[in-house]
Structure 1
Amino acid sequence: MSETVLVLVEAVNEYLPLLEGSGFTLIRAPSKAERAAAIAQHADTITAVLTRGPLGFYAEEMAALPHLRIICVIGAGYEHVDLAAARDRGITVTNGAGANASSVADHAMALLLALVRDIPQADASVRRGEWRKLSRPTLAGKRMGILGLGAVGLAIAQRGALGFNMSVSYHSRRRREGVGYHYCASVLELAAASDYLIIATPGGADTRHAIDKAVLDALGPEGFIVNIARASVINTADLLTALQHHHIAGAALDVFDDEPEVPDELRALNNVVLTPHVAGLSPEASEGTVSLVNQNLLAFFAGQPVLTPVPYTP
Structure 2
Amino acid sequence: MLKYLLLPLIVFSGVAFSKVIHEERSLYRNIIVEDTSDLRCLKFNTKSSQTSQSCMYKNDPDKLVFNYTKLTFASLLVADNPKNVLIIGLGGGTLSNVIHELYPTAKIHNVEIDPAVTKVARDYFNFIENDLVTSSVQDGRIFIKRAAIKKQMYDWIILDAFNGDYIPEHLLTKEFFEEVQSVLAEGGVIAANTFSSSKLYEHESATYHAVFGDFINVSRENRSNRIILAGLKAPPTNEQIKAQVKILEPRLAKYGIDIKAISEFMHFTKDGQDWPADTKVLTDQYSPANLLNF
TM-score clears 0.5 = no
**Structure with greater Cα Rg:** 1
Structure holding more strand per residue: 2
Structure holding more helix per residue: 1
TM-score by length of 2: 0.41
TM-score by length of 1: 0.39
